[in-house]
Amino acid sequence: MTIYDIAVNSLDGKPSSLGAFAGKTVLVVNVASKCGLTPQYTGLEALQKKYESKGFSVVGFPCNQFLEQEPGNAEEIQTFCSTTYGVTFPLMEKIEVNGDNRHPIYAELTKVADAEGVDGDIRWNFEKFLISADGSVQRFSPMVEPEDATIISAIEASL
């Protein structure tokens, strides 16, 4: 089984997986609507627009584990993301990224260390995982903005 085979629901509750993105480049991000880093939605959407025609997509996973900064239900999350930030990239169901109920996708992703050597638990909202077309994974701290040169160069190298 690969990360592409792990079941997850879309934000509207329909069964899904990352399978549609196999062979493409995907930036998986745990997102939240009421966080100091929430403005990163702007940069994530810019990446989506710039690279989607080349086989790239951002995929957001709302999570309420960090100071309850994603309290909304699916409809509230969708409305906030689309009206406030014009989000067009796919959003999945709200999940847990740490702890006993950690979603299996994050159980796999958190095995990877970032540039500082940090692996394991997600530290905060907007931690990023770039899954390249060949399935390799790179991890980026929540403090690394979507427009950061390290993310841009990693995306471009993967396309």
Catalytic center residues: 35
Cβ contact 104:85 at 8 Å: no
What is the Cα–Cα distance from 4 to 53, expressed in whole angstroms? 20
DSSP 42-105: HHHHHHHHHHGGGTEEEEEEE--TTTT-----HHHHHHHHHHHH---S-BB---B-SSTTB-HH
